[in-house]
Chain A
Amino acid sequence: MKRHYTRTALLVAVLFTVVTLCGFAGGAQEKVSEVDITFWQHSYPPLNAWTQKHIQGFMAANPGITVNFELIPFEEYIQKVFTALATRQAPEVFESDDFTFAQFIENKALHDIDPVVFGYSNLGDFTAAFERNSLELVTVEGKVFAIPYDWEAPVIGYNIEIFKKAGINPQSLKTWKQHGQAAQKTAVHDSNGVLTTAGMCFVHNIGEYYQHIGNTLFRQAKVSILNKNKSAATLNDPNADRVFQLWNDMIFKYKADDPGFTGSFYTEEFGQGRVAMGWMLTWANSILAPHDYKKGRDFDLIPVPTFEGGDTGTISSAWNWVVNANISNAKADASTKFLSYKSDQGDTFLTEAGLVSPKKGWREKVSSEDLALYDEIFNSLGRSRPHDPHPKYQEIWKPIIKVFQTCEVDPNANVRQLLKVGEQEINDIVQ
């Protein structure tokens, strides 16, 4: 009886352990092919549909390669990538935004792109195949570590009807002062003082957008966050005041913007006709399409204004396809071929995903009507350059975002004092 009891107990314990270990072993394997690669993409429906279609096309053209496609929610994408890299479970191909790219490079997390596997005989021909500046951020010590695919530069989108009613010619808005006055005129408040139509929507409460917008505003104000050696902060510059004062004025002086106007992004409100102007990127057309908002009929795009005496250039950004450094050569080559295939689909990237590829050679395949939807975007890209990368980029921006957010809530924000404190915090990070 006791032996039977012992055997039973041992059997239960062993069975439990085996079942638990099986759980850790993961699910059934996908079909085995010559090379299997996994690609992680952040969620953005027009892009995801385009990608799904071209993965099928790539696999048909390359029967020895299987691409497993996984979608990750946008908000948690980079976190998931970092966690996966930390546990050595990252996929062969994934995406990096511009802001975290330098961190991947510093920690040798990325495989360089072989120009020959990509389809060019040498690095010179490879880089010449891309638009000016677009590979600047991703080229390190003569090697290219990513393929930028969603190349963006800012524009201002405006509601045609609102501007017509206000009698304002949007093309006349060249400076931020003129812009603020127009925003003040087009903003509408109800009897309680609640902003019901925003005169100008900057993007609040989304960390990356303070960086997107701030980078261009700093360029316009002729301000750098760090010195040339990146060893000290240079933010405590009187020219920087006007960047944050603009932010503060749009809310409290012009009463044309409000961080609480929308829960996250303002496209819903723009599609309802409740936004006169807003900061937009390349996705302007595709993000407004679900609201049946058409460029030229309901909204249009104008260049981003600048400060008086300021720079008229903008700062571009991109999402980049990257290859994991910790994979076999066979998988690295397969991944590079996959990126090469996708980067050759720039025409459908524009017409189906509504995004601009920096790789040349696709504009000739797109109709002039479709290209016209992106005129202002191309102009902005032509005046743009990438931001200055840093491995501690997110940390460096923390005090800067704090200054922006203080200016959002405090009508009497002392920008000078805030910048002094912010500069010291940045110095603590970089020194």
Chain B
Amino acid sequence: MISTRRDNLYGYIFILPAVLVLGCFFAYPILKTLYLSTAEWNMLSKPKLVGFKNYIRLFQDGDFYKSLWVTIYYVFGTTLLNIPLAFLCAVALNGAGRAQGFFKGIYFTPVVLSTVIASVLWISVYHPYSGIMQLLPLPSHLKVQSWYQRPDLVVPGLIVFTLWKGIGLYIVIFLAALINIPASYQEAAQIDGASFWQSLLKIVIPMLKPIFLFTVVICVVYSFQNFAIVYTSTKGGPNDYSKILPILIFENGFKYYKMGYASALAVIQFLIMFFFSYIQFKVFKSEVE
């Protein structure tokens, strides 16, 4: 009994530093955000508690709904393109033999490139006067103005950039999963006369469902929080047509100094992301099982 208590004590002592770090950098900010979401605070004076006033205001704020729609458009667009394309690229790379390493490097380079540098690069890509986009065989109405300046094209433009920036990560994840599929399964399918696509649809994809769940969840979570790419590219413009929720939160907190309202927005964003993640786990869980 005493020996068990002592063992427990050693355990607590060893995890104490990690708990302290988690407490300081995770639990405290979360609790403080919850507190501030019920207050008005302009950073220059003390927070003043106002109950649920920030939440009531939030649900009456047209800017919130516009931002929410933009965020969902961006998240779904990025995820629905990123995951299937990454999977197909991984399948193609899986058969690339020795060239696989070279192509993996090509695909992964944008992932490790600084977001700010990549944003500046893509601003110049879309530039109507000197951008590479002018060289593409696109209709002229798509080249006359930067996509980042057009309300109808700013989010697709950001999705293309996000795709370029992040697809390498998902390709590497899928590739690692594909390599782990026993070759005997596909050989057996070939013997039975299955075509490449049949093998892909009936064997490979079902076996990779846990990987699909993982990549979809992280893609959705990452896209929801993708402040850096969108802010450095468009700052939420033109005219708020690319203002995703993280930018709305940032502006309310650090441009209009309404920290309480910004905290309430952050809490709601967390709940929305939690809801989406929960749905994905529910949908995929039964399939995975």
Contact = CB atoms under 8 A, between A and B. Distances in A.
Chain B contact-residue range equals 35 or more
A106 B42 CA distance: 11
A5 B10 CA distance: 8
**Residue in B9, B14, B129 with the greatest tally of chain A CB atoms within 10 Å:** B129
B283 interface: no
B282 interface: no
Contacts of A86: 43-44
B134 to A, nearest CB: 8
A283 to B, nearest CB: 22
Contacts of A205: 235, 237-238
B149 interface: yes
Contacts of A192: 128, 134, 140, 143-144
B215 interface: no
A291 interface: no
B137 interface: no
A370 interface: no
B170 interface: no
A421 B239 CA distance: 15
A259 B44 contact: no
Nearest to B255: A394
B275 interface: no
Nearest to B21: A20
B44 A194 contact: no
A193 B143 CA distance: 9
Contact of A107 (B16, B42, B134, B237): B42
Interface stretch (A8-16, A127-135, A150-158): A8-16
The majority secondary structure among interface residues of chain B is loop
Interface string A73-108: 000000100110110000000000000000110110
A79 B13 contact: no
A298 interface: no
Chain A contact-residue range equals 35 or more
Contact of A259 (B20, B149, B254, B258): B149
A13 B143 contact: no
B256 interface: yes
B151 A409 contact: yes
A347 B97 CA distance: 70
B212 interface: no
A83 B43 contact: yes
B72 to A, nearest CB: 21
Contacts of B149: 258-260, 409
A259 B238 contact: yes
Nearest to A5: B10
Nearest to A391: B42
Nearest to A205: B237
A104 B257 CA distance: 12
A408 B151 CA distance: 11
A57 interface: no
The majority secondary structure among interface residues of chain A is helix
Interface string A390-403: 00001100100010
A176 B43 CA distance: 41
B17 interface: yes
Contacts of B14: 9, 12-13
B145 interface: yes
Contacts of A259: 149, 238
Interface in A354-373: none
B145 A260 contact: yes
A394 B251 CA distance: 11
Interface in A186-219: 192-196, 205, 207
Interface in B30-68: 42-45
Nearest to B41: A86
B224 interface: no
A260 B148 contact: yes
Contact of A9 (B13, B238, B240, B255): B13
A194 B10 contact: no
B102 to A, nearest CB: 33
A2 interface: yes
B154 to A, nearest CB: 10
A6 interface: yes
Given A192-B140, A192-B144, A394 B13 contact: no
A17 interface: yes
Contact of B44 (A9, A82, A260, A405): A82
Contacts of A196: 129
B10 A9 contact: yes
A277 to B, nearest CB: 18
A107 B13 contact: no
Nearest to B45: A107
B146 interface: yes
B127 interface: yes
Nearest to A189: B144
Interface in B2-36: 6, 9-10, 13-14, 16-17, 20-21
A27 interface: no
Interface string A234-265: 00000000000000000000000011110100
A47 to B, nearest CB: 23
B123 interface: yes
Contacts of B146: 260
A9 B7 CA distance: 11
Nearest to A10: B13
B44 A17 contact: no
Given A193-B140, A196-B129, A79 B239 contact: no
Contacts of A340: none
A251 to B, nearest CB: 10
A408 B239 contact: yes
A109 interface: yes
Contacts of B235: 205
B13 A260 contact: no
Contacts of A406: 239
A262 to B, nearest CB: 9
Contacts of A2: 6
A196 B21 CA distance: 54
The 8 closest A-B pairs by CB, nearest first: A260-B149, A107-B44, A405-B239, A86-B43, A260-B146, A194-B128, A16-B17, A79-B254
Interface of A: 2, 5-6, 9-10, 12-13, 16-17, 20, 79, 82-83, 85-86, 103-104, 106-107, 109, 192-196, 205, 207, 258-261, 263, 394-395, 398, 402, 405-406, 408-409
Given A13-B14, A406-B239, A409-B149, 7 more contacts: A9-B10, A107-B45, A260-B127, A260-B146, A263-B123, A395-B256, A405-B238
